Amino acid sequence: MKESPAKSAAARKAGAKQAAAEKAPTKKAAASAAAPAKKAAAKKAAAPAKKTAARKAAGAAAPAGKAAARKPESRVAMVRRARRINRELAELYPYAHPELDFTNPFELLVATVLSAQTTDLRVNQTTPRLFAVCPTPEDMAAIAPEELEELIRPTGFFRAKAKSLIGLSTALRDRFGGEVPGRLEDLVTLPGVGRKTANVVLGNAFGVPGITVDTHFGRLARRFGWTTAQDAEKVEADVAAIFPKSEWTMLSHRLIFHGRRVCHSRKPACGACPVAPLCPAYGEGETDPDKAKKLLKYELGGQPGQRLKPPAGYPGQPAPPLASA
């Protein structure tokens, strides 16, 4: 039977409606399926921005380490980076100085010998009484060992240190006319005096450039990628090849200041470290800015940017004007 045109038009309309109805849920499903994908893409795009902001907030550009891992650094790039680190540290610690109290080369020599295996603070608490009793090499050479041991007991290893102090004082009296010599080759002949102690005395009592490789200096030089050596003499030679002589003494103070306050041995405060963008070892310590801040030890003195008074008798650079009396 042939359909009437009106009927077939109605049928076509109904079919189209059904098709549209079938299509509609598919669109909806597609939209809902697309939503998580869109969200994921948005998240992906936002992530690096977020990370960058976090890094900026931490004041630390982590990629220094990652970049170094990707591509070995050329010698020229390493030297350039090393000198930038030195400049940053110079701004951070404008008046870095030896933290031992002294008023003449003999006191600095004795204080440096006493500082082995103890803190400068402990030495500074001990030396006023010691120097009141033994102000000269002659006095120290003549003191009874037991009396000297008692005077320096708080610094630890007091028997060995007393032996060194009497030995070096006797040598100063007998071989150097009671004066501390100003040459490395003479200083290292004194009992208990190695290159580290000799360089401290040369750099700070005589103004002769010297690199002081103590535990802080060695650790930071390795973290900065300036050396891989553990041996102090090798570290000294590697660092000496990077910096001009005129920088050696102050560079030593700056690294030691930074090692004591920020870049600690076990938990460096990477997340609060101002030289993090230049440091290949970023991430070796705490990277969370808030947690890292708690690790800082600025109570030792020398906040970044703070002008410190020079220690008594310090013959190095003239003191910059202090911000406040």
Per rule CB under 6 A, is residue 284 in the interface with ligand SF4?
A: yes
**Cβ atoms within 10 Å of 222's Cβ, excluding its own:** 16
For ligand SF4, the binding residue among 81, 196, 216, 223 (CB under 6 A) is: 223
Evaluate whether 88 touches 278 at the Cβ level (below 8 Å).
yes
What b/e readout covers 102-127, taking b as 16+ CB neighbours within 10 angstroms? beebbbbbbbbbbbbeeebeebbebb
Instruction: Give the residue among 34, 46, 182 at the shortest CA–CA distance from 109.
Output: 182
- Which among 34, 93, 136, 112 is positioned nearest to 251, based on CA atoms? 93
* Whether the Cβ atoms of residue 292 and residue 285 lie closer than 8 Å to each other: yes
Q: Considering only 106-114, 235-243, 279-287, 305-313, which stretch makes contact with ligand SF4 by CB under 6 A?
A: 279-287
Binder to ligand SF4 among 152, 187, 235, 275 (CB under 6 A)? 275
Q: Does the annotation mark 43 as catalytic? A: no
- Candidates 276, 308, 314, 316; binder of ligand SF4 (CB under 6 A) is 276
Q: Does 254 bind ligand SF4 (CB under 6 A)?
A: no
In angstroms, what is the minimal distance from the CB of 264 to ligand SF4?
8
CA-nearest of 177, 200, 180 to 190 is 180
* One residue of 260, 281, 308, 316 binding ligand SF4 per CB under 6 A: 281
Query: Do the beta carbons of residue 110 and residue 165 sit within 8 Å?
Result: yes
Q: Under the criterion CB under 6 A, does residue 279 sit at the interface with ligand SF4?
A: yes
Least gap, CB of 122 to ligand SF4 (angstroms): 25
Q: 196, 245, 290, 309: which is the annotated catalytic residue? A: 196
Nearer to ligand SF4 among residue 162 and residue 276 (C-beta): 276
- Number of residues engaging ligand SF4 in binding (CB under 6 A): 14
Q: Say whether 196 is catalytic.
A: yes
Positive or negative, the CA dihedral 286, 100, 189, 205 is positive
In the block, tokens 């920088």 appear at 247
Question: Which of the stretches 2-10, 41-49, 236-244, 263-271 binds ligand SF4 when contact is defined by CB under 6 A?
Answer: 263-271
Give catalytic residues, as residue numbers: 196, 214
Binding region for ligand SF4 (CB under 6 A): 223, 262-263, 268-270, 273, 275-276, 279, 281-282, 284-285
